[in-house]
């Protein structure tokens, strides 16, 4: 389950935020997303909406912080908390 | 609560943090009118030196043009210095409306509304027309003022990868359930100098029933055969629903901005756009001079033609010298250095040689994409650019980057 979620999120990030020319870029569960500039805080909303739809959860705006979205690991923690 | 030592300390710590990250911005004092060559004091207290200016938005060289200055004087004499009012109370003179009509004609739109700046136009327009049932779909590299405007608006917001039409199409499909869709882009991207593919964007907008918004601040007056901007370049004049632009760059360089577009959108801005309603009217001398600017540009394409020639010469010269530059059809030519420190060193070395440019790095541009942005003007001439090229080559040589591609520069300097 966790493995599946990880792959799904990494796939989404690759498609949504990286260009073809970034294909050789390494992206794993600990890669910084926001602080590295891969995902900017302005474009983060689509990732949030994707998670909410996929897992039928609702993430309050005050929890959707750059910190919480800075790595796949921290995103998974956030999602799992809402999955209950 | 007073301005206590504690408060002072807290603010000082923040400032120190900015300094430590190397992001502290300093102003340079210019002792001359804005021009292709200026007299600069930097750092403050240093001897004033004459430098070639390659970082202003004075694309058409109109900032200090004698006819423009004369028109400003005439406006000052005929209509006074300031309005001391917002537009709708007692801040609208005949010449304000005249300029709005002239802009509509120049940009081929149904109507135009002036704002104190284009920053204000972008900050106010979305909130005035869109609501929670709507969606704004913006390019990821739009200007900061558009981002602010989007944040102030209650419509849903989504983004697409820079100039990526496949991704935009995906988003338009995804948002078919919304009441209104608006595609939002810069015409010319200010940090990259590339143009948004407006022909494709307009086609997608028609296919997916969306409106199109274009900020043409870095295009109005010179992109397109007669300088009408990116819609002219792509053959889609009259098909853009909202154009925002500034009077503070190519169109004279003083200040002021506008929303030009569909009648109802302009009318709604007059009723609801907060920066229009609650900020002072643009001063009469600026209005009068802006009318002159549009008159000059409508009479002859000489200035935009010269600018185009200068940009072509400059792009070709830099490429042949072995620099990595971003491709584009605009007078914004970024020289890619990738490494932030290299960009800063490069700009400093050039200044020592009498060339004024600025280095840009994260967070102003994406991480690992540090660059020197150069901007051409119709005021430059070829001998001036030739001499600047010699200096660029010398500094490029000093840092050993001439002829290196992206990978090689990154291998040498890191990211
Ligand atoms: C794309 C873009 N839009 C808007 C603005 C703001 O224009 P103004 O100086 O009129 O507020 C700028 C200027 O920096 C810009 O580059």
Compare all CA atoms of chain A with the CA of B175 and give the residue at the minimum distance: A46
Local confidence pLDDT in tens for the 415 residues of chain B: 699 999 999 999 999 999 998 888 889 999 999 999 999 999 889 999 999 999 999 999 999 999 999 999 999 999 999 999 999 999 999 999 999 999 999 999 999 999 999 999 999 999 999 999 999 999 999 999 999 999 999 999 999 999 999 999 999 999 999 999 999 999 999 999 999 999 999 999 999 999 999 999 999 999 999 999 999 999 999 999 999 999 999 999 999 999 999 999 999 999 999 999 999 999 999 999 999 999 999 999 999 999 999 999 999 999 999 999 999 999 999 999 999 999 999 999 999 999 999 999 988 888 889 999 999 999 999 999 999 999 999 999 999 999 999 999 999 998 8
Cβ(B93)–Cβ(B282) under 8 Å?
A: no
Task: Among B147, B159, B367, select the one facing A37 at the smallest CB separation.
Answer: B367
Taking the CA of residue B154 and the nearest CA in chain A, the distance in Å comes to 14
What pLDDT score does B177 carry?
Answer: 97
Q: Is B42 helix (H, G, I), strand (E, B) or coil?
A: coil
Catalytic residue among B35, B56, B117, B190, which?
B190
Taking the CA of residue B362 and the nearest CA in chain A, the distance in Å comes to 8
Task: Among A19, A36, A43, select the one facing B159 at the smallest CB separation.
Answer: A43
User: ipTM of the assembly?
Assistant: 0.88
Residue A1, pLDDT > 80, answer no
Q: Give the mean pLDDT of A69-84.
A: 92
What are the C-alpha distances in Å from B290 to residues B68, B307, B316, B378?
8, 19, 33, 18
**Domain residue spans of chain B:** 21-53+302-413, 66-299
Edge to edge, what strands does the sheet with B332-338 contain? B332-338, B370-375, B358-360
Q: Supply the CATH classification number for the domain B21-53+302-413.
A: 3.90.1150.10
What pLDDT score does B230 carry?
Answer: 98
Cβ(B129)–Cβ(B265) under 8 Å?
A: yes
Taking the CA of residue B410 and the nearest CA in chain A, the distance in Å comes to 14
Compare all CA atoms of chain B with the CA of A13 and give the residue at the minimum distance: B161
Q: What are the tens digits of pLDDT across the range B173-215? A: 999 999 999 999 999 999 999 999 999 999 999 999 999 999 9
**Closest ligand 1 atom, CA of B255?**
10
pLDDT-derived band of residue A41, with 50, 70 and 90 as boundaries?
A: confident
Task: Among B147, B164, B366, select the one facing A42 at the smallest CB separation.
Answer: B147
Mutate one of B168, B367, B368, B370 to test the A interface: name it (highest A CB count within 10 A).
B367
Catalytic residue among B143, B175, B218, B233, which?
B218
Residue A20, pLDDT > 80, answer no
Burial readout A57-75 (b: 16 or more C-beta within 10 A, e: otherwise): eebeeeebeeebbbbbebb
Q: Give the mean pLDDT of A39-57.
A: 90
Report the C-alpha gap between B14 and B24 in whole angstroms: 11
Does the distance separating the beta carbons of B362 and A37 come in below 8 Å? yes
What is the percent of chain A where pLDDT is above 90? 64
Report the C-alpha gap between B52 and B54 in whole angstroms: 6
Strand bridging mode B257-261 / B211-215: unpaired
pLDDT-derived band of residue A25, with 50, 70 and 90 as boundaries?
A: confident
* Cis peptide upstream of residue B4 (ω within 30 degrees of 0): no
What pLDDT score does A37 carry?
Answer: 82
Report yes or no: A40 at the B interface, CB cutoff 8 Å.
Answer: yes
CA B185 to centroid of ligand 1, rounded, Å: 13
Taking the CA of residue A36 and the nearest CA in chain B, the distance in Å comes to 7
Beta bridge partners of B334: B373
* Residue B265 DSSP one-character state: H
Q: Give the mean pLDDT of A6-14.
A: 93
Cβ(B263)–Cβ(B49) under 8 Å?
A: no
What pLDDT score does A19 carry?
Answer: 84
Closest residue by Cα to residue B361 from B336, B333, B340: B340
Does the distance separating the beta carbons of A19 and B159 come in below 8 Å? no
Compare all CA atoms of chain A with the CA of B415 and give the residue at the minimum distance: A36
CA B144 to centroid of ligand 1, rounded, Å: 8
What pLDDT score does A42 carry?
Answer: 84
Q: Which of B143, B214, B216, B244 to mutate to test ligand 1, by most ligand atoms within 8 A of the CB atom?
A: B143
Compare all CA atoms of chain A with the CA of B146 and give the residue at the minimum distance: A42
Would the CB of B246 count as within 6 Å of ligand 1?
yes
Chain B residues within an 8 Å CB radius of A46: 158-159
Other C-beta atoms closer than 10 Å to the C-beta of A37 total 16
Chain A residues within an 8 Å CB radius of B368: 37
Would the CB of B217 count as within 6 Å of ligand 1?
yes
What are the C-alpha distances in Å from B382 to residues B304, B312, B319?
15, 11, 16
Chain A residues within an 8 Å CB radius of B362: 37
What pLDDT score does A36 carry?
Answer: 83
Query: What count of CB pairs under 8 Å joins A to B?
Result: 20
Residue A23, pLDDT > 90, answer no
Q: What is the pTM of this model?
A: 0.95
Residue A21, pLDDT > 80, answer no
Does the distance separating the beta carbons of A36 and B140 come in below 8 Å? no
What pLDDT score does B363 carry?
Answer: 83
Q: Supply the CATH classification number for the domain B66-299.
A: 3.40.640.10
φ/ψ region of B414 (left if φ > 0, alpha if ψ in -120 to 50, else beta) reads left
């Amino acid at each position: 389950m966790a493995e599946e979620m990880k792959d799904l999120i990494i796939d989404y990030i690759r498609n949504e935020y990286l260009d073809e020319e970034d294909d050789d870029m390494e992206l794993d569960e600990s890669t910084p997303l926001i602080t590295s500039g891969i995902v900017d805080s302005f474009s983060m909303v689509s990732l949030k909406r994707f998670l909410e739809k996929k897992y039928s959860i609702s993430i309050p705006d005050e929890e959707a912080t750059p910190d919480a979205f800075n790595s796949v690991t921290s995103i998974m923690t956030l999602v799992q908390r809402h999955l209950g | 609560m007073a301005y206590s030592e504690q408060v002072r300390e807290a603010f000082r710590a923040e400032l120190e943090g900015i300094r430590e990250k190397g992001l502290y911005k300093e102003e340079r004092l210019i002792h001359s009118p804005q021009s292709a060559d200026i007299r600069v004091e930097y750092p403050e207290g240093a001897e004033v030196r004459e430098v070639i200016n390659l970082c202003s938005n004075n694309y058409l060289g109109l900032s200090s043009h004698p006819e423009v200055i004369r028109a400003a004087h005439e406006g000052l004499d005929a209509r006074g210095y300031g309005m001391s009012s917002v537009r709708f109370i007692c801040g609208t003179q005949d010449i304000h409306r005249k300029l709005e009509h002239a802009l509509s004609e120049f940009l081929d739109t149904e109507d135009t509304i002036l704002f104190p700046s284009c920053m204000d136009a972008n900050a106010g327009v979305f909130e005035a027309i869109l609501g929670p049932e709507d969606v704004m779909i913006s390019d990821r590299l739009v200007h900061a003022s558009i981002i602010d405007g989007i944040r102030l608006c209650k419509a849903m917001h989504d983004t697409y990868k820079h100039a990526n039409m496949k991704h935009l199409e995906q988003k338009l499909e995804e948002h078919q359930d919304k009441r209104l869709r608006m595609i939002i882009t810069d015409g010319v991207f200010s940090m990259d100098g590339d143009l948004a593919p407006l022909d494709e964007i307009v086609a997608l907008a028609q296919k997916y029933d969306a409106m199109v918004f274009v900020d043409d601040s870095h295009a109005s007056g010179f992109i397109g055969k007669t300088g009408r901007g990116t819609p002219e370049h792509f053959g889609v004049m009259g098909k853009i629903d909202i154009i925002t632009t500034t009077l503070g760059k190519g169109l004279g360089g003083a200040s002021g901005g506008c929303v030009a577009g569909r009648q109802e959108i302009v009318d709604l801005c007059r009723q609801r756009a907060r920066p229009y309603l609650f900020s002072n009217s643009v001063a009469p001398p600026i209005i009068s001079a802006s009318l002159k600017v549009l008159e000059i540009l409508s009479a002859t394409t000489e200035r935009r033609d010269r600018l185009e020639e200068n940009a072509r010469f400059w792009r070709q010269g830099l490429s042949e010298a072995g620099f990595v530059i971003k491709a584009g059809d605009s007078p914004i030519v970024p020289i890619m250095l990738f490494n932030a420190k290299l960009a800063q060193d490069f700009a400093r070395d050039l200044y020592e040689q009498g060339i004024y440019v600025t280095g840009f790095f994260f967070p102003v541009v994406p991480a690992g994409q540090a660059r020197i942005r150069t901007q051409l003007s119709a005021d430059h001439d070829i001998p001036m650019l030739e001499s600047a090229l010699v200096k660029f080559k010398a500094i490029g040589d000093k840092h050993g980057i001439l002829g290196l591609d992206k990978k090689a520069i990154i291998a040498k300097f890191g990211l």
